[in-house]
Structure 1
Amino acid sequence: MNSSDPGEEGAARESRGIQSIEVGGQLLLALAHLARPTPLKDLAAEAGMNAAKAHPYLVSFGKLGLIQQDPATGYYGLGPLALQLGLISLQQVDPIRLASAELPALARTIGQTVGIAIWGNRGPTFVRLEEGPTAVHVNMRHGTVVSLRETASGKLFAAFMPREKVLDALSLEAGAPKQRLDPRFEAEVRKVREQRFASIVDGTVKGVSAISAPVFDGFGKMVLALTAIGPSAALSADPASKAAKELVRCADAISAKLGALPAAASA
C-alpha cells in the first residue's frame, strides 16, 4: 500500500524541471548580463561551460529566434523573439504598481514618509504616499504637483525629462513665458543627472528635507521618482547616508524589474 502524501507528490511534479533547458538557459542569462554581442568562447565562459557544450544550445536557440549570430563577426546576441518577448513584458508591467508594493517596507526601513511622483500634465505629481513612523507636517497628498526647482523630486525630473517639457513646466510654474534654464539651475540639474540622486534641505517647508532617486524603464526613460520626506534633523540629504543608499537600492531594484540596465552599464 502506498502511504505517500498526494500533496507531496504534486509538489514534486511541480518543482521537477527539464535540466537541459535550465543548462541552456544559462547562456541566455549570460547574454542578458553581458548586454552586448559576444564571441562564443566568452559567452560560454560567462555561462560556466566550455564552447563545445554551449554551441548546440546556441544553434537551437537560433532556430527559435532567441539568439542570432552576426555573420560578419560571429558574435552572438539576442534574437528577434527575445526582443519581442522583452517588449511584450515591458508593456505588461505597471511601474506605479511595482513601486507601490515597495513603499510600506521602504517607509519602515528609512523611518520616514516615502512617496511616488510621476510626470503629469503640469509637472512632477505625487500619486502615492506611505507615512513612516516619524511624523512630518507637509501639505502633501495624492495629486499634489510639486516645484521643479524647490523639491528633490522636481530636480530629478528636471534632470531626466526632455528639455522642452521641463521648460514648459517651469514656465507654467512661474506664470511667465518660456525661457532657457539659468546657469545655476543648469549646474544643479547636471549634478543630479550625474549622481542619479537629488536632495533638498529646508525646501518648500522649513525644517523638512527630501531625497529622491529615479526609476527607469527598459528603454532608459525615467518613469517615476521614489522620494523620502522627513524632518531635516532626522533625514540626511547626504547621498552616502543609510537612508539615501536604501532609497537608491529600492529604485534600482524596481528599474531592474522594468528591464532597465544597471546604472554603470547604462551610463
Structure 2
Amino acid sequence: MSDEKNDKDRRGIQSVEVGGQLLRALAHHGHPMALKDLARAAGMAPAKAHPYLVSFGKLGLIEQDPASGRYGLGPLALQLGLIALQQTDPVRIATPMIAELAQRLGLTIGIAVWGTRGPTFVRLEESPAAIHVNMRHGTVASLTDTASGRLFGAYRPADEVRALFEQERLLGKLERPRLAPGTPAAPAPTSWKEFERALAEVRRHGMSRTEGAVVDGISAMSAPVFDHAGAMVLAVTAIGPSGALDTQWDGPVAQALRECADRITQRLGGRPPVPVRRAA
C-alpha cells in the first residue's frame, strides 16, 4: 500500500514534462532556434511544439525574435537561473560526492577553497584505511608544494597567485599536513618563472599531482570545479600512500577525480575558463 501511495506522490503532470523537453533543448543548445529545429531536438512534431511555446512565451520562459522567428529563453528563465546560482553552495553539493569517492578509491578525499591565506581545506572524507597525515578542516595548503595549491595557482588570477607565491617564499612555509611532528618541510620554491612552468603543466592536463612533495610516501592528485563564470571555486583532492595512489594522468584515480569534479561543475551550471594570458 505504501509503495502505491509513493507512486501517487511522485506522479507528475505529463504535459508539463513533455513541454519541458523544449526548455531543456534550448538550454542544451545555448542559442535561439527555429521551430522545426527546436521541435526535432525535443523529439516532437512542430505542430505539437507550437502550443507549448505559446504558453511558455506568455509566462516569460521563452521569447520569439520578431525578425528571425527563432525561439530563445525568456526573461523569467534568466531570473530563475540567476536565483538558482545564488542559492547554489558548491561545498554542499560536493560533500556527498566526495564521501562516495573516498569509499570507492580507498583514499582520503578533500575539498579545498581559495581563502584569505590561500588554498584551504573545508571538508575531508577520511580513507577507509588509516593515513597518518595531520590534516583537519581549515588546514591551509602550500601554494607551491601541494596538488591543491598548484591547481588554484594555475587557475586563479596571475597577480593574486604571484603575491601569495612571494609571501610563501619569504615565510618559507605555510601550515602543511605532516606525518608526525618534526617531519622536514618540502624545499622552498626557487623562482616565479620555474613555478609558472609547473602551472602551465597543470593547465595542460587540467589537473595537478604531487608525489612526496610535502611528506615522504604521500601523494596527491587534484581536479578543479568551475562556476558559471568559468572561475575555479573548488579543488577536489585525493590523498594517499604513494604505493596506493596511481598518479598517472590517465589512471583510474585521475579519471575518477575528473568525473567527480565535472559532475559538481555541471550541478553549478559551470564551465571551464577561457584561456587567459598569464603574467610574465
User: What's the TM-score, normalizing by structure 2?
Assistant: 0.83
- The residue type equivalent to 2:114 in the other structure is W
> Structure 2 regions of 5+ residues with no counterpart?
172-190, 276-280
- Residue 210 of structure 1: which of 202, 220, 231 is its match? 220
**Is residue 158 of structure 2 the alignment partner of residue 148 of structure 1?**
no
Aligned residue pairs, count: 256
Compare 33-42 and 217-226 and name the one that shifted more.
33-42
Q: Percent identity?
A: 56
Q: Work out whether residues 112 and 122 of structure 2, in 8 Å CA contact, stay in contact via their aligned partners in 1.
A: yes
Deviation at 1:75, TM superposition (A): 2.7
- Residue 136 of structure 1: which of 131, 134, 149 is its match? 131
Q: How does 1:26-65 map to 2 (within 5 A)?
A: 26-65=21-60
Q: Work out whether residues 40 and 75 of structure 1, in 8 Å CA contact, stay in contact via their aligned partners in 2.
A: yes
**Is residue 156 of structure 2 the alignment partner of residue 161 of structure 1?**
yes
Deviation at 1:9, TM superposition (A): 6.2
Aligned to 2:175: none
User: What's the TM-score, normalizing by structure 1?
Assistant: 0.87
Task: Give distance in 2, aligned partners of 1:240 and 1:186.
Answer: 23
What secondary structure, in the 3-state scheme, does the structure 1 residue paired with 2:235 have? strand
Divergent runs of 4+, >6 A = none
User: 1:68–1:164: structure 2 CA closer, same or farther, 3 Å change rule?
Assistant: farther
- Residue 92 of structure 2: which of 73, 80, 97 is its match? 97
- The residue type equivalent to 1:76 in the other structure is Y
Deviations along 1:36-55, one digit per CA (max 9) or x if unpaired, are 33222222111111222212
What secondary structure, in the 3-state scheme, does the structure 1 residue paired with 2:270 have? coil
User: 1:157–1:41: structure 2 CA closer, same or farther, 3 Å change rule?
Assistant: same
Task: Give distance in 1, aligned partners of 2:3 and 2:246.
Answer: 51
Q: How does 1:1-267 map to 2 (within 5 A)?
A: 5=1, 7=2, 10-175=5-170, 182-261=192-271
What secondary structure, in the 3-state scheme, does the structure 2 residue paired with 1:148 have? coil
Q: Work out whether residues 225 and 235 of structure 2, in 8 Å CA contact, stay in contact via their aligned partners in 1.
A: yes
Task: Give distance in 2, aligned partners of 1:50 and 1:233.
Answer: 57
Task: Give distance in 1, aligned partners of 2:3 and 2:242.
Answer: 54
C-alpha RMSD over aligned residues: 2.2
Deviations along 1:13-53, one digit per CA (max 9) or x if unpaired, are 42332221111100111112222332222221111112222
Q: Work out whether residues 225 and 261 of structure 2, in 8 Å CA contact, stay in contact via their aligned partners in 1.
A: yes
Deviations along 1:35-94, one digit per CA (max 9) or x if unpaired, are 233222222111111222212211221221111223343332221111111111121121
Task: Give distance in 2, aligned partners of 1:259 and 1:249.
Answer: 15
Task: Give distance in 1, aligned partners of 2:59 and 2:274.
Answer: 28
